[in-house]
Every structure is written in C-alpha cells, then in structure tokens.
Amino acid sequence: MTGVVLRWLRRNLFGNPFDTALSLVVIPVLAWAAYAFAYWILVEAHWEVIRGSLKVLMTGIYPTDQLWRAWFSVATLCAMFGAGLGLAVRPTRTALTIVALAGTLMAAIVANVIDVPSGMLTTASASLGVAAWIGVDHSALGHRIALPGLLVGVVAIFVVLSPPGFEVWGGLLLSIVLTIAVSILTLPFGILLALGRQSRIASLRVISTAYIETMRSVPLILVIYWIWIIVPLLAPDTSVPGLLRGMAGFALFFAAYVAEYVRSGLQAVPKGQIEAARSLAMSSWTVNVDIVLPQALRVVIPSLVGQILDIFNGATLVFIIGLTDFLRAGQMILADPQNSGRTYEIYVFLFAVYFTIGGAITYASRRLETHLAKGSR
C-alpha cells in the first residue's frame, strides 16, 4: 500500500527536477493554507451567528408560526428529487448507503444546531426522498407518474407556501422554489420557440427567431427589471406580486436558451426519422411529439439540467426587485451591527451551500450524460 503511494508520489510530483522544485514550493503553501483554513473553521470562527440566523437564511422573513409550510416544501422537494433520481439512476446499495449516511449526518447537524424536532423532520424528508427514489425505480407505475408528480409537487409547494403572501418568501427556500418553477416553466415555452424557429410558417419563424436572439443579446438583470416595471403598466389595476414578476422575467429570459438547446437536439435527429414517420401518414403533431421530440430532448437533457444551475446562480439577482434570496438574506444578517464582525462566517457558509448544491447539479448532469449515452447505442 505505501509502496503504491510512494510510486504515485514519485511519478506525479517528483518525476523530474522541475516537478520536484515545483512540488517543494506548492505543497507546503497548500498545506499551510489548508491548515490555516481548518484552524479558522474549527477554532477561531464564531458559528453561533449561523445558528442564530439560520431561520432567516433558510426562509427569509417567512412568519415563524407558519414554518410548517416551509417544512412541507422541504419534504416535497426531497420527494421530487428522489423521483427525478429514480428516472435516471439506479438506487444501488452503495448509492443508498451514501445517501443514508449523508441524510443522517444532515439530520444530526440540524438536530444539534436547531432542535430535535427539526432533526426528525429532516430525517423524515430524507426518508421520503429515498422512498420516492426506490419507488420510481422499481415500479412501472412509479415511472409513469414521476413526471406528472413533479408538476403536482411544484403546484403543491406554491399552494401551501402562498397563504402568508408572496412578499414574505425568502432565503434558500425562495432560491430553490424559484429555480424549480422557472426550470419547469421554460421547458414548454422553449420547446415551442424551438419548433417555431423551424416552422414552415414564415411569421412564426421570424417571431421566434427575433425573440430568441433578442433575449440572448441582453443581460438577465435587464429582463428581470424590465418585466418588473412593465407588468404594472400593462395591468394597472391588479397588483402582481414581485415574486411572480421576477419568475416571469427569469422564465422569459431562460426560455430563449432552452430553445437553443432544444434546437440543437432537433437538428441531431436524422432526417430519415421524419421521412419514415411521414411515410406512415403521421401528422406533423404526431411526428413532433412521438418521434422527433423524444429523441431531441434525450440529447439535450444534460444541457437542460446544467441550465438549472445557471438559473439557480442567476436567482441571486432577484434582490434588485426587492426579494430576499439566500445571498441577500446573508447580507441582511450582516447589516445587523451586532453581526458586523461575522462577515467571513456568513460568506463561508453561503459559499459552502452554493457549492454543495451547484456541485450536486453538475454531478447529476454528468451522470445523466453517461446514462443516456449508454442507453442509446
């Protein structure tokens, strides 16, 4: 064992004089940085600030007596995530063990930091997710209801969360719900735009192309701001909540990108497929829905999952229309003079959470890519 390690070290770090010199400089520097960072995390940092502000970070100014609604959302999100996994990844014993360990660790942390009931709720949510994963993977029925189930889940989250008012949604919950809702909304809109761009009807083609190119040539922040301003002008008598206006801006913007991904998928479907379908007297609708889109979407699923990450990271921009997303919640806590010395703690925490979620999405996108590549020989 040590032999292997020594050989690896020799070959990769001390292979020639230059490598050796480089290693002698870089390794101590890295070791020192790692030590300093670990020392800061374990000894110097004052993590009570996180414990004290966790509620704000997670849910913003959502009323404390209504937090069960947030917990419902967490459980639903876990179930949706599990169902999504079940469609693509087998729950092998190793995978289940890893998830079980992670869930237990998470629950232990939550029980420690907040209180024991919250820890139990975390455990329950994680178990629900695992159950959905296994259920969807094992049964044909589960497979069939998984996608409609995701839609029902999103609607349920909105219905349950909305009674206290959209303006109190905040924190990580807002970021995640916004991301998921926008991801789902952009899909049908993007597909229609992609089909429109290829349509034989000239007016549809021109409108779709103009829309896509316009959206792709302006910054996201401009679109969000623009929709936020324009909706009250169009509907002066009704007050559309900022959250919904923000979501509309995101959806309108990212639909153009979805359209371009889908278009690349449509182009990847061989012409012979369309000819075969047409020669069987299928209507344009059937050709698109049953033959072309399933093949096209299969190709672009990894990119679409990757785009969820773009939306999630872009969700930080909703602060410009007065919403309190995760990042903004962190800044709000720092605005309290009492916490002014805790900048590093808050930002390290934000970084860790963003990194974990972003990493998970990237990993899922990779896995999907290999999984789909394996499926279509």
Interface residues with other proteins (CB under 8 A)?
Answer: 270, 272-273, 275-283, 286, 290-291, 294-295, 298, 376-377
User: What SS3 state is found at 324?
Assistant: strand
Q: What is the DSSP annotation of 117-147? A: HHHHHHHHHHHHHHHHHHHHHH-HHHHHHHH
Residue 307 CB, shortest distance to other proteins, in Å, is 22
Residue 272 CB, shortest distance to other proteins, in Å, is 4
State both tokens at 250.
Answer: 């995101």
CA-CA distance, 374 to 39, in Å (whole number)?
45
Residue 140 CB, shortest distance to other proteins, in Å, is 14
Residue 9 CB, shortest distance to other proteins, in Å, is 44
Say how many C-beta atoms besides its own lie within 10 A of residue 44's C-beta: 10
Nearer to other proteins, 18 or 285 (CB): 285
Residue 190 CB, shortest distance to other proteins, in Å, is 20
Residue 291 CB, shortest distance to other proteins, in Å, is 6
Distances (CA, A) of 242 to 66, 162, 246: 21, 13, 6
Nearer to other proteins, 83 or 291 (CB): 291
Distances (CA, A) of 295 to 218, 269, 300: 31, 7, 9
What's the one-letter identity of residue 107?
A: A
CA-CA distance, 13 to 7, in Å (whole number)?
10
Nearer to other proteins, 93 or 200 (CB): 200
State both tokens at 318.
Answer: 């909703």
H-type alpha helices, the chain: 2-13, 17-39, 48-59, 67-88, 93-113, 116-138, 140-161, 171-197, 202-216, 220-234, 242-268, 271-279, 284-286, 293-314, 326-335, 343-375
Residue 374 CB, shortest distance to other proteins, in Å, is 11
Nearer to other proteins, 187 or 269 (CB): 269
Nearer to other proteins, 104 or 295 (CB): 295
Residue 373 CB, shortest distance to other proteins, in Å, is 12
State both tokens at 260.
Answer: 């371009």
Nearer to other proteins, 45 or 282 (CB): 282
CA-CA distance, 143 to 150, in Å (whole number)?
12
Asked if residue 119 lies in contact with residue 107, where contact means CB atoms within 8 angstroms, the answer is yes
Say how many C-beta atoms besides its own lie within 10 A of residue 141's C-beta: 10
Nearer to other proteins, 270 or 341 (CB): 270
Residue 257 CB, shortest distance to other proteins, in Å, is 24
